[in-house]
Amino acid sequence: RVDPVSSSDLAVPAHGQGDIRTIDIQPGGLVTREGKATPKVVNGQLEADPERDLLKIVFIERTSGRGEKFVGFIRGWGQKKGAVATTLCWDAGAIVAVGANDHDIAAAINRIIEIQGGAVLSVGGAFLAEIPLNIGGFMSQLKMPEIARRLEAFQKAVASLGSTLTFTHLTLNVLSTAAIPFIRITEKGYYRFRENDLVNLRHE
């Protein structure tokens, strides 16, 4: 079970200026590379900056009951507003969300919790697309044609918000898959494929 979150739960204190690590999505949407960026600071917090294609990414572990989470940053997504979230993470019992602001990210995560798993696109308090996966967060009770229709609608809705990814939901699914190079997200931080280690948001 995962408890609902608020936007304040997703805040990242600035702790002074400096570069942070990012997940940089490569062409094709599956492979990622470790990047470096200087995020925007607002009221002492590191914020997403969609005009620079710098979004927040959140990982919440959902199977142990501890609800451990990590908040990082991602580039190459392209979305200018709103947030997406999913429980369809191939190698992790998790909720993974990407978004342009904390309010929409929290709304997407909370809707996922409410429908007991799935994929959601949230913009300004409205849910533009939704795929329920209420059987363990991985399977749906909907018929296949309806799932296909909703996946297509999900992709079109995310594209309308600026994403240039060919298969947005697939990319979202594998951001926690440690077997795909080169940097992924976990509840403990970023996992680096080549180095086989976990690293924090900030360079130390």
Q: Is 1 within the bounds of a domain?
A: no
Q: What is the pLDDT of residues 31-84, one digit of tens each?
A: 999 999 999 999 999 999 999 999 999 999 998 888 899 999 999 999 999 999
Residue ranges in the chain whose pLDDT is less than 50: none
Q: Is 204 within the bounds of a domain?
A: no
**pTM of the predicted model, to two decimals?**
0.97
pLDDT value at position 171?
Answer: 97
Tally of domains in the chain: 1
Q: Is 190 within the bounds of a domain?
A: yes
Q: Is 136 within the bounds of a domain?
A: yes
pLDDT value at position 93?
Answer: 87
Distance, CA of 160 to CA of 141 (rounded, Å): 28
Q: Is 2 within the bounds of a domain?
A: no
Centre a 10 Å sphere on the Cβ of residue 88 and count the other Cβ atoms it contains.
Answer: 21
pLDDT value at position 204?
Answer: 66
Question: What is the percentage of the chain residues whose pLDDT exceeds 90?
Answer: 92
* Strand 83-86 to 54-61 pairing: unpaired
Show the domain range for 15. 7-199
